[in-house]
Amino acid sequence: MSTNKLRTLKNEFLEYLEIERNRSQLTIRNYDHYLCSFLNWSKLAHPAQITAEIVRKYRLYLNRYKDDKEKGLKKVTQDYYVIALRGFLKYLAKRDIETLSGEKIELGKSHEREVEFLETEEVMRLIEAVSGNKISDLRDRAILELLFSTGLRVSEISNLDCENVNLKSGEFSVRGKGEKIRLVFISESAKNAIKKYLSKRKDVDPALFINIKKPKNVDGKKEKQMRLTPRSIQRIVRKYAIRAGIVKRVTPHTLRHSFATDLLVNGADIRSVQSLLGHSSITTTQIYTHITNKHLKDIHTKFHSKRR
């Protein structure tokens, strides 16, 4: 066996994720980062050298890790490292390569995820914070309206082309995580906002949301208009949250959480919300249910002990 056997197998595992499991490039990059962390820390060369004791010590390292600013890793982040390692070991087992069984690695009990969302009044304030009739204003309002109307992830919004969005039917398909395709629906206010924005567009760029700034001259040639990146969309959302006086940290994902919460509060069943969000597992969607539990108090007050 070559001294680089583990790294070779790691690369083959990443290729397996890409080809056979159809995982996104972002997921593959993350898995590469997590596994390289383990290999660099352990300095192991062969799969058979991975033992339960080695993994235990690695988990202690992750739990005690501090960066230059004395900041540690959150429990959920530590879990990502362990999940990647466990997946790698299961892959090795499929290939009958002697190593520690991935089944022997258990994740620690994690705290319930805290979900930050906006109340309906806050969503309206956020959207109304966009004023003006310039094309950049119309674009920004269309972004906010579409985020709340569809619950799309920021990467999904960024990747949209004009031809993807059917404003006549008010629905369209989007390719999300794991290349899964799902149907999303556009509210009337979102449709109107997108129509106003597109009516001002004079370019032929295929992207739905583009950088409005004038193209720069690069080597004597005009740079083509580019689609907005997820980071640019995050900055736009944050800009209007500050303008609206919302003290919470507001991101595109906050609007996704707000979309899901709004549906559940108004009576949608969790399976439908799961489909609309594009979650593979109902467990992921269930993080929203405890948010809506405060509405049980109203039900209790309204219906309990009426005969007393």
Question: What are the residues whose beta carbons fall under 8 Å from the beta carbon of 142, sequence distance 6 or more?
Answer: 190, 193, 194, 196, 197, 209
Catalytic residues: 153, 177, 253, 256, 279, 288
First CA to last CA across the chain, in angstroms?
Answer: 79
Burial of 306 from C-beta contacts in 10 A (0-12 / 13-18 / 19+): exposed
